[in-house]
Amino acid sequence: MSEIPTTMTASVLTGIGSIVLEERPVPVPAADEVLVRVLSVGVCGSDVHYYAHGRIGDYVVDQPLILGHELSGVVAAVGADVDPARVGERVAVEPQRPCRVCDFCKAGDYNLCPAMEFYATPPVDGAFCEYVVIQSDFAFAIPDSISDHSGALLEPLSVGIAGAQKGGIKVGDRVLIAGGGPIGIITAQVAKAFGAAEVILTDINPARRELALRYGVTRTVDPAQESTDGLDAHVFIDASGAIPAIQAGIRATRPGGTVVLVGSADEIPLSVPDVAMRELNVTGIFRYTGTWPIARQLVADGQVELDSLVTHVFGLEQVEEALTGDGADDSLKRIVLPGVRRVEDPVAAAGGARS
């Protein structure tokens, strides 16, 4: 392995709409950590929101922050208690550090740990930089059959898995998903892998609806033209955050069915009779627990396809461009390469869903 430098380049959010490159010290791994040289980082909607608004709910950016929490890389160094044979290992990183001792952690619900440190969530820095550290058991080895980009996208895949698990999707179910963005399309693939007989996806964007049909979706619906009332879905998963989509999805869920809220809507009016009289189970997900081994296996087995979701690839100097273009009609998943300064043609470098 090459010698590890003492400093690295990082893309830093310094204020709303302000990204600058800075030289930062390369972090030194603690005894139970590994140092990861970052190879691929996905752009998430939360990164975009922090860039545009400086906050998400109670999480406020009040000091410079490195964004990015969907990542893969290669182990460059290990702490004193970690097997040195891990150096050189390709890994996908679960970007969080729970306390491991609270009641939630002990019960296996470490995603609810009140002391959680999560990448790119103030004040914890993320991965739009050349090196990061993570506890060794949260750096998951990936085989050569999984690309760097797919390794990074095991993080949004984990969100889809957590949603499907909360929904209790089983063989033969009819699943309704609102939102044809990356999470919606990934969740649709997970639903099929979990045995759903039908996966119906709604989105107002015709390009997203057309794309979804290539990823296991059996039918799409334009909510502006067609109602989903009476669809009788066993499970409804909202990946849109759109209030009308959530309300329509609740109406479309069969009695005794499950509604899983993944999108980041604010407070919405909720029809209590719709929920109570049909005994709907309404729940949400907050990140994930124990999903990386499942995600890795789904990709390795070809049950979930991630590489072709990548529409744009950028260098570290282009993080602002990656953030401001997210959500455009021609954009599905954007990737940043921290080891590269600039990519001259971000679309050509990606291929993916545009091909």
Question: Same domain for 95 and 216?
Answer: no
Q: How far is CA 69 from CA 8, 66, 95, 152, 202, in A?
A: 18, 9, 6, 9, 27
Q: Tell me, what's the pLDDT at 69?
A: 98
- Indicate the residue type of 284: G
- Asked whether residue 315 is domain-assigned, the answer is yes
Q: What is the CATH number of the domain that holds 136?
A: 3.90.180.10
Question: Same domain for 103 and 143?
Answer: yes
Q: Residue 342 is inside which H or E element, if any? A: none
Averaged pLDDT in 10-residue chunks for the chain of 355 residues? 88 97 98 98 96 93 97 98 98 98 98 98 98 98 97 98 98 98 97 98 96 95 96 97 95 98 85 93 96 98 97 97 80 95 94 53
Q: In terms of residue numbers, what domain contains 216?
A: 166-284
Residue from 309, 167, 170, 137 nearest 238 by CA? 167
Question: Same domain for 170 and 143?
Answer: no
Domain count, the chain: 2
Q: Tell me, what's the pLDDT at 330?
A: 75
SS3 category, 114: coil
Question: Same domain for 253 and 328?
Answer: no
pTM of the predicted model as reported, rounded to 2 decimal places: 0.95
First to last CA, the chain: 36
**DSSP notation for 100-133:** SSSHHHHTT-GGG-TT-EETTBTTB--SSBSEEE
Using a 10 angstrom Cβ sphere, with 0-12 exposed, 13-18 middle and 19 or more buried, the burial of residue 99 is middle
Question: Same domain for 343 and 271?
Answer: no
- Can you read off the two tokens belonging to residue 213? 């049909």
Residue from 322, 352, 324 nearest 337 by CA? 322
**Number of residues that make up the chain:** 355
- Asked whether residue 159 is domain-assigned, the answer is no
Q: Tell me, what's the pLDDT at 354?
A: 43
Question: Same domain for 142 and 172?
Answer: no
- Asked whether residue 160 is domain-assigned, the answer is no
- Asked whether residue 298 is domain-assigned, the answer is no
- Asked whether residue 329 is domain-assigned, the answer is yes
Question: Same domain for 35 and 143?
Answer: yes
Question: Same domain for 172 and 238?
Answer: yes
Question: Same domain for 124 and 62?
Answer: yes
- Can you read off the two tokens belonging to residue 333? 């998943």
- Can you read off the two tokens belonging to residue 354? 């545009």
- Can you read off the two tokens belonging to residue 143? 């085989």
Starting at the edge strand found earlier in the chain, the sheet holding 18-25 runs 18-25, 7-15, 65-66
- Can you read off the two tokens belonging to residue 41? 């980082």
Question: Same domain for 28 and 133?
Answer: yes
Question: Same domain for 129 and 183?
Answer: no
Question: Same domain for 99 and 195?
Answer: no
Asked if residue 123 has a cis previous peptide bond (ω within 30° of 0), the answer is: yes
Q: Residue 124 is inside which H or E element, if any? A: none
Residue with tokens 């179910």: 173
Directed axis angle between helix 182-193 and helix 292-300, to 10°?
A: 80
